[in-house]
Amino acid sequence: MNRKYRRTIIAGNWKMNKTPAEAKALIEELKTKVGKQKWCDVVLCVPFVDIPAAIRATRDAKISIAAQNMHFEKSGAFTGEVSADMLKELGVKYVVIGHSERREYFGETDKTVNLKVKAALENGLRPIVCVGESLDQRESDITAEHITMQVKLALADITADQLRKIVFAYEPIWAIGTGKTATAEQASEVCGLIRAVIRAKYGARVARSVTIQYGGSMNPKNAAELLAQLDIDGGLIGGASLKADDFAAIINAANQ
Ligand code: PGA
């Protein structure tokens, strides 16, 4: 974290978990466990159908709600999809774009990531853009090349002003849901690389203001060490965000 230049953001990615009633119950429990939020913003990335319940339950809390995906078109014949302005009208503030599960199972590409980032920004939603390498790519020593390409393509035609609204999440695919965490050194190296790619295109002032999260089996035990790295400005947390105790402990670690 570098609190002088940027916000720390702890985001819970619930994935396909929790019904609206369960969402309400989890949020009510979470609110009782989170201490004073001095330094960090909290975001919950919930399933579409949970959004109204989550918005209601967070009205009296400093917690923002995110969607986990959206379509890049405004409206039309796209059965099963949801647009940015639909989310905006519900009170959603952020949207996760290009999570590796969407890239792997639902045909998300660097091109659609870029289109979605632009559509989100045009509608006043803050994109949380996910990038990350597979185990194969890491072992073949092409992590830096792959991440650089993903970041550059996500940011095609994005202005410096727009960039200030974007959050990045570095999520090594081999660490997601596996219990294997990147070491603080590995995570910090790639988050630093993401910032360097941004710096090369937009300059140092803009680059230092961007929040870059780490994601991949972050938990109450490893959070403090990861968050102590200068280039890691928060977390995108899956499994541990489904338990109020664990998620609150991570938030509280970020507020230390
Ligand atoms: P995990 O998921 O914390 O369960 O590894 C992270 C993510 O996919 O965002």
Q: Is the distance from the beta carbon of residue 46 to the nearest atom of ligand 1 less than 6 Å?
A: no
CA distances from 253 to 179, 183, 234 (A): 19, 18, 10
Kindly tell me if the per-residue pLDDT of 177 is higher than 90. Answer: no
* Axis-axis angle for helices 20-33, 244-254 (nearest 10): 40
Residues annotated catalytic, as ranges: 99, 171
Ligand 1: atom nearest CA of 241 is: 3
- pLDDT at position 41 is 96
Confidence of residue 19 (pLDDT cuts 50, 70, 90): very high
Please check the confidence at residue 2 and state whether its pLDDT lies above 90.
Answer: no
Better-scored residue on pLDDT, 180 or 159: 159
Please report the domains of the chain, with CATH numbers, ordered by start residue: 8-73+85-238 (3.20.20.70)
Q: Residue 39: what pLDDT? A: 83
Helices (H) and strands (E) in the chain, counts: 12, 8
pLDDT at 112: 98
Cα–Cα dist 30/161, whole Å: 34
Alpha carbons 118 and 100: distance in angstroms, whole number: 19
pLDDT above 90: residue 36 = no
Q: Would the CB of 237 count as within 6 Å of ligand 1? A: yes
Percent of the chain with pLDDT over 70: 100
Q: Return the SS3 of 164.
A: coil
**pLDDT band per the 50, 70, 90 thresholds, residue 20:** very high
**Nearest ligand 1 atom to alpha carbon 100:** 8
pLDDT value, residue 4: 86
* Rounded Cα distance, 10 and 39, in Å: 10
The residue whose C-alpha atom lies closest to atom 2 belonging to ligand 1 is: 238
Note the pLDDT of residue 37.
80
Q: Does residue 83 line the site of ligand 1, with CB under 6 A?
A: no
For residue 9, give the DSSP letter.
E
User: Does 239 sit in the ligand 1 pocket, CB within 6 Å?
Assistant: yes
Residue 246 beta carbon below 6 angstroms from any ligand 1 atom: no
Residue 157 CA, distance from chain mean position: 21
Q: What is the pLDDT of residue 28?
A: 98
Closest Cα to atom 6 of ligand 1: 238
Whole-number pLDDT of residue 165: 97
Over residues 42-72, the pLDDT tens digits come to 999 999 999 999 999 999 999 999 999 999 9
Residue 49 has what DSSP assignment? Answer: G
- Is residue 38 scored above 90 in pLDDT? no
Mutate to test the pocket of ligand 1, among 45, 105, 171 (most ligand atoms within 8 A of CB): 171
